[in-house]
Amino acid sequence: MANRQVRTPGQLARFDISAAIGDAPGFAVNTGQAAEALANVAGNLSDTLGKMADRAAQREGELAGLTAGQESAGSYLQHAQANGIAAGVAGAGPWYEQAKALLRKEEGFREVPYYDVNAHRVGYGSDTTVTADGKVVKVVKGMKITRDDAERDLDYRLTKREGLQVQKQLGDTWNRLPESAKAALASVGYNYGSLPKEVVAAAKTGNLEMLSSAVAGLSSNKSRRQREAAMILGARSAPVQTATATTTQPVGAPTAKAAAAPAGVDPTKTASTETPLSTTPLALRRDGTIRGEAFDNAALSSWGWRMQEGVSTDLYAAAQQFEEDPIGYAAAAETIRKKWADELPADPKTREMFDKSFVNQNQAYTRNINAQHEKKLREEQLASFSAGYSSRLIDFERQAQVLGANPDGDAIIAEQTRTIQNSIDGAATQGILTPAQAAKYKLDVAETAARGRIQGVYDALPTPEQKEAFATSILNDWKERKGPLAALPYDTVKGISNTLFNDAREQINRRTASNKAEKIRVDALIEDDVASIAATGKGLDPASSGLDPAKVGEIIGPEGMQKWRLGQDRANRIYSATNGMEVQSTADLNQRLTLMKPTAGKPGYADELEIYEAARKRAQDVLKERQTDPLGQAARGGAIEIQPIDATSADELSRTLTLRKTQRDQVAGLYQQQVPVFRPGEKEALSAAILRKPEMLPAFAMSVQEAFGNEAPRVLSEISEDGPVIAHAAGLSLASGDTSIANDVADTLANKREKVYTAKMPAQGEMSNFANGEIAGAMYADPRTQSALVQTASILFEQMANQHGFDATDLKTDGSVARAAFSRAIDRAAGARTIGDKTFGGLAEVNGARIIVPSDMEKDQPARLLAGLTSAQMEKLPPIDSSNEFKIPIEKIRQAKLVSVGDGLYRVALNDPLSDDPKYLRAAGGTFWTLNIRQLDEVSKTTRSRDEDLDLTPWMPL
């Protein structure tokens, strides 16, 4: 059958473009039954294939729509839209400038410190500040800073502290972030001290949405975290800031923004690698095809949620900025609406979608802001009312206390209470106070009136006991509904009563404790007063000591006052009995006590005996003190006005020593006893002064000689223990009239002080051992003088070593220069000197033992005198005590050993002085017999030539 249907080329073309597969059977040419059967088969197949093609077109349209919606929605998420209005902070420029702007807004400026969390803070919420000279200072209470100080600290925090810490935490990730994201993270770090670990992890993904969510999810300061999160989210489309953006600048010149950067910040290292978002508006197809409808639905879905996100971000930021300003928020919201509406696609459904979303979100923010505004107004009204109310309440309480002693006080306070409560009712009527607040305020007024009135009455009572009784009576008045407390609850009245009662009891306890403590103090003062009268005849000054009899009487009572008066009387009697004892001799003191001793059996014996015993004890104390410091005691008694020894110059030393001799003689005559020249401590001070200024040594020796004459050796012996070298050198000068030893000692000490003498010396122990061997037993009985001699010899030896340059340490070698020099030094220190061809003094041997020869006697004279000793000479010397009247043979005495005990004085030992039985000759009374070699010398001059029984034959023991 021929095909009767004709299809033009235009119809075929349209079929190819717009027809679905299911249209094929209707469009095919009818060629008969066979063709119809084939068409039926083809129709079934075309239905199946058509459905498959529809689904493919729908999927293709959806994918294309999602892509178009995502790309076109980028214009709604630009940085200026998401962050400019939202944060109220500049959205361009280096991160640290944005961070500073953000921190100024978030922290606010404070010029005086406030305590926050764990430290005092100031400026922009910092616990440090930076002074004009760059010094970082810890914030302390009471300080005050300027805004410039805070700005310097903000720079310091962002570049040296928290800002730098954030950069270290992020490493290379930091440089890949947009500037606004950096600023937001710097703000988080500033607040936390460093970035929380979840924020660091999110930042390192490079996904700003994840980073924004991580910041928003932090628990502290939620609203601030939301603003920082919005700033990060808005940074997704921020323009990239590169290091080569300053093409108009000369080579090497910094950009304006770079020049403003604080130290340590390189604004050129801020390039972002994020691709800018597309600004292509959304275009819908609206062509009625399956693919077109799928495209439109998918594009609207993809675009819509991003649009809603952008609107939501802008409205949220505006709400944060104008959270208590409905007018400001309304203007900002309208600006946001217009901006978004201008960029909407020209599609009614799209606009309907936008309008519905915007209205829903805006209404919520508007209601909240209106509520916040109304709340703020109410709070301001309440704060104003509360401030005035608090001030008035304080004044009211003060007036109530002042009226405490006024009998009409209750009526006056009641009238003022009604007046204030009426004003509270007025505030409640105006809506400033809620009914509950008004009721509480009125109760506070009533309680304040009652407390003030009760406190005033309480304070006006004179004694703690009366206050305690009043506190107890308050509850009784309340029960009888009397007074200002009648309208208050029982618990409140009970609390007031307990408080006042406890206060009164505490006052009583404090007074009791204070009186006890004061009594202890007064008792101690009374003891001092009585003791002072007994010692000086004068008591304590009442004005300076506080011993006012009237006040003392209140503390110690009548019995205590009587006891004090009796003590003063007794002290006066003791003073009379002991006054002047310091200037009486021992004999006078004994006579005074004898006359004072009471007689038993007479009236008043007990009192007299007590005074006598006090006087006797005082006399004992005076005599005991006199043994150690008679000069000081005489000065305290007024007998002399003692002047210290002055060693600052030779003239002052001579003058004060001469004056001291006069004063010493006066005191010796007053006390009728021997008195030392130096007071306790003066010997040490004088020795130290001369050692510090050794050139004074010769002057000291001469001054002692001039002032004390023959007593000079005894004066030197007083200081021999504290200044052995000084006493020994001065003594040699006195004995011989030769000051060379004193001069050499002074010269050596001075040169050592000035570090002129630097020769290495042997150890002191080594020198002492050598010197003791040289001296042998010559001074066995006078170790103090031997020690002084050895010390003096050591100083002379050091002078020789420095002057002649030999090795002073070579003492152990026989025949060494050092040994010979030290031997000469020891001999000189022992008093040896040469006059013409004769040698005087020093070390010599008598009967094989070493002795010290007086410096005014030839060295071999003692040996000659002892060898030529005769019985006739012995008879002119002090007698020797011999047991059983056994006369010691003269020959044995001639061969005896001499041991020095002083200048020219010797003990005489018939055996070795160093042995267990030296057999010293004894004088009458059992003391050691002493040979005065000078006396023997004088005796020998008048007896030897007339001695007929001269027998020089050595005595030999049996």
Q: What is the pLDDT of residues 374-428, one digit of tens each?
A: 777 776 666 667 667 766 777 766 776 666 656 676 677 777 778 888 888 888 8
Under the banding of pLDDT at 50, 70 and 90, the label for residue 535 is: confident
Give the closest residue to 228 by CA, choosing from 183, 196, 273.
183
Query: Residue 2's pLDDT is what?
Result: 44
Query: Residue 812's pLDDT is what?
Result: 87
CB 806 within 8 A of CB 857: no
Query: Residue 585's pLDDT is what?
Result: 92
In the structure encoding, which two tokens stand for residue 292, read together?
A: 């077109």
**In the chain, % of residues over pLDDT 90:** 41
Q: What is the pTM of this model?
A: 0.45
In the structure encoding, which two tokens stand for residue 389, read together?
A: 């109310």
Query: Residue 158's pLDDT is what?
Result: 95
Looking at every residue in the chain, the average pLDDT score rounds to 81
| 509 Cβ contact list (under 8 Å, min separation 6) | none
Query: Residue 49's pLDDT is what?
Result: 65
Query: Residue 10's pLDDT is what?
Result: 54
Query: Residue 169's pLDDT is what?
Result: 95
Give the closest residue to 315 by CA, choosing from 266, 263, 391, 367.
367
Query: Residue 345's pLDDT is what?
Result: 73
Predicted confidence (pLDDT) per residue in 283-333, tens digit: 676 677 877 777 777 766 766 666 777 787 788 888 888 877 889 889 988
Alpha-carbon gap, residue 476 to 495, rounded angstroms:
14
Task: Judge whether residue 452 has pLDDT over 80.
Answer: no
Give the closest residue to 385 by CA, choosing from 417, 422, 439, 424.
424
Task: Judge whether residue 862 has pLDDT over 80.
Answer: yes
Predicted confidence (pLDDT) per residue in 471-509, tens digit: 888 888 888 877 767 777 888 888 888 998 999 898 888
More confident residue, 160 or 69: 160
Residue 322 parent element (H or E): none
Alpha-carbon gap, residue 590 to 608, rounded angstroms:
17
Alpha-carbon gap, residue 878 to 165, rounded angstroms:
104
Beta-bridge partners for 110:
123
Domains of the chain: 1-77 (no CATH), 93-241 (1.10.530.40), 378-511 (no CATH), 516-533+541-572 (no CATH), 586-628 (no CATH), 846-958 (no CATH)
Task: Judge whether residue 947 has pLDDT over 80.
Answer: no
Task: Judge whether residue 67 has pLDDT over 90.
Answer: no
Helices 605-628 and 549-578, axial angle in degrees (round to 10): 70
Task: Judge whether residue 942 has pLDDT over 70.
Answer: yes
Query: Residue 236's pLDDT is what?
Result: 63
β-pairing, 897-902 vs 905-909, is: antiparallel
Task: Judge whether residue 246 has pLDDT over 90.
Answer: no
Residue tagged 């037993």 (tokens): 777
Task: Judge whether residue 948 has pLDDT over 50.
Answer: no
Task: Judge whether residue 140 has pLDDT over 80.
Answer: yes
Predicted confidence (pLDDT) per residue in 189-206, tens digit: 999 999 999 999 999 998
Residue 882 CA: distances (Å) to CA of 429, 438, 885: 133, 124, 5
Backbone φ, ψ for residue 744 (5° rounding): -65, -40
Query: Residue 406's pLDDT is what?
Result: 66
Task: Judge whether residue 629 has pLDDT over 60.
Answer: yes
Q: Degrees (nearest 5) of the Cα angle 424, 428, 433?
A: 95
CB 944 within 8 A of CB 876: no
DSSP state of 927: P
Alpha-carbon gap, residue 898 to 918, rounded angstroms:
11
CB 449 within 8 A of CB 421: no
| 550 Cβ contact list (under 8 Å, min separation 6) | none
Query: Residue 88's pLDDT is what?
Result: 44
Query: Residue 825's pLDDT is what?
Result: 94
| Over residues 450-466, mean pLDDT | 81
Three-state secondary-structure class, residue 115 = strand
Under the banding of pLDDT at 50, 70 and 90, the label for residue 71 is: low
